[in-house]
Amino acid sequence: MSPRMSRPGCPAVPSIPVRWNRRVVDAGLVRSPKRGYRSQVMASGPDTQPKAGRDRIVDVAMRHFAEHGYRGAHVEDIAAEVGVAKGTVFLRFGNKEGLFLAVYREAVGQLPAWLDAPPEIVDAGFWTVIGYWLRRTEEFLTEQWVANRVAMIGRYDTGLGLRRPIDRLMRSEDPYGTLEFVEFGVRRGEIRDDVDVEMIASMLDWVAERFQDALGSEELDPGLVHRKPYLPERRDARIGEFLELLRTGISPARAIDE
């Protein structure tokens, strides 16, 4: 289903403009995706075809979707760059939605999990880990621009026909290791244990993801960070406020009082 169309009774999902960041391109930081361990594991399900040709299609498609967005990317252009017929792409992935889902799965598999922070950060605890990832949001987006852009497009620039399988993928495979991260916090006594860890993990995914989007993209910021004049201290204050609000919601009462 085209993102411009909606099912009866369902509103169309608005698109976001997708542009290359010229500073990233000029710095040579937009490079071919590196297939890491987690993305290899995620791509090894029974319904995938572990062939070099399939991987090549996914790699090229990832760049096209990152550069042009979901609607702006064309399967025929991807097939031409790979050197295969358009029908070959459809044979492997079914349709454009199937191709994007394979690309999205690869993209989120390339991105680091919460506990992939440096060991000294992890040793310092749950809240230090969250603060670490929030404070280096822009650096992280630049380092892995293509994968991050595809993940963002999956959240904002696709219709309900893709949102459902994307949500199922995120729940079943938990590519960022959020459930493991919450359990880590519970074991350390930094996260409350009177609420189901899956509920806390889902909430953390929702709020942290949206807040990082606002930090990293003026397009998606409701005015918390990027309003003019831009002040770096405003960004730091917003991160501190976000952490405090989150901490008062999911930390044990004894930890809040300390």
Q: What structural domains does the chain harbor?
A: 33-257 (1.10.357.10)
Separation of alpha carbons 4 and 14, rounded Å: 8
Confidence at residue 255, expressed as pLDDT on a 0 to 100 scale: 57
Output the average pLDDT for the chain.
81
Report residue 9's pLDDT band, with 50, 70 and 90 as the boundaries.
Answer: very low
* DSSP 8-state symbol, 157: S
Eight-state DSSP code of residue 29:
-
Residue 224 pLDDT level (bands cut at 50, 70, 90): confident
Tell which phi-psi region holds residue 214, choosing left (phi > 0), alpha (psi between -120 and 50) or beta.
alpha
Per-residue model confidence as pLDDT tens digits over 103-160: 999 999 999 999 999 999 999 999 999 999 999 998 888 889 999 999 999 988 888 8
159, 6 Cβ separation under 8 angstroms = yes
3-state secondary structure 171-198: HHHCCCCHHHHHHHHHHCCCCCCCCCHH
CA distance 17 to 92: 29
Q: Give exposure, 139-157, as e/b (b: 16+ Cβ within 10 Å).
A: ebbbebbbbbbbbbbbbbb
Note the pTM of the prediction, 2 decimals: 0.76
**Taking 90 as the threshold, does the pLDDT of residue 253 lie above it?**
no
pLDDT digit string, tens, across residues 144-182: 999 999 999 998 888 888 889 999 999 999 999 999 999
Q: Which DSSP string corresponds to 110-134?
A: HSPPGGGS-HHHHHH-HHHHHHHHH
pLDDT digits (tens, 9 = 90+) for 11-55: 333 333 333 333 333 333 333 334 443 444 444 444 444 456 899
Instruction: Answer for the pair 56, 82: CB distance below 8 angstroms, yes or no.
Output: yes
Confidence grade of residue 228 (pLDDT, cut at 50, 70, 90): confident
Helices (H) and strands (E) in the chain, counts: 15, 0
Residue 106 to residue 100: CA distance in whole angstroms: 10
Report pLDDT for 231: 79
